[in-house]
Amino acid sequence: MFQAVARLFENWLDPFARSDNLRPPEKIWAFVWFYVSQAKMAFFLMAIFGGAVAMLEAGLFWFVGRLVDLLDTVPKDAGWDGLIAAHGGELLAMALIVLIGRFIVVTVGALVEEQVIVLNFFNLVRGQAHAHAAATAAAASGHQHRRAHGALRHRPARQPARGPCAAG
């Protein structure tokens, strides 16, 4: 089952889908947006789940403080039964958040980051940058090749140098 879920995230972004206009802009923010815009939802979800993980981690400290407060309100002779009778719903909510909610948020956040961003987005950027660099190098190489083999041979002949520095 986990492989099916991981495959869903792995196939979310195709790093080889774009083949047109691979030249990134020259300005820094436009350059970054050129690549990030191809994976907007993944970066949005990574920000959302990253924030949710941080809130849950901070919430764990709040839960510890709340547990101390709850234990202080129940008389010692009431025991576990008194604690559960007085605060069972709140304790159940804490347990569900820690055991299930935190697991889901951390897992989905890790899947988005590791399976979409690290695996596919980095390859998308690398592949497109390589394709653009290769196309630029091929175009420059073709220009040099044409120049060396006479494509630019029909320009006017150079006039002999005249003046005090001219030999002769």
Examine the pLDDT at 5 and tell me if it is beyond 90: no
Tell me if 116 is assigned to some domain.
Answer: yes
Mean pLDDT of 56-77: 94
Taking Cα atoms as reference points, which of 40, 49, 53, 51 lies closest to residue 121?
Answer: 40
Give the amino acid at 33.
W
pLDDT value of position 166: 55
Tell me if 6 is assigned to some domain.
Answer: no
Tell me if 155 is assigned to some domain.
Answer: no
Range of the domain at 91: 30-135
Structurally, how many domains does the chain consist of? 1
Tell me if 141 is assigned to some domain.
Answer: no
Sort residue 163 into left (φ over 0), alpha (ψ -120 to 50) or beta.
Answer: left
The Cα–Cα gap between 3 and 7 comes to 6
* 142 sits in which H/E element: helix 122-148
Tell me if 164 is assigned to some domain.
Answer: no
Tell me if 35 is assigned to some domain.
Answer: yes
The predicted-structure confidence for 13-50, as pLDDT tens digits, reads as follows: 888 887 788 888 899 999 999 999 999 999 999 999 99
Task: For CA atoms 80, 57, 107, 105, give the dihedral sign.
Answer: positive
The predicted-structure confidence for 123-149, as pLDDT tens digits, reads as follows: 999 989 888 888 888 888 765 555 555
pLDDT value of position 152: 46
- Whole-model pTM: value is 0.71
Tell me if 95 is assigned to some domain.
Answer: yes
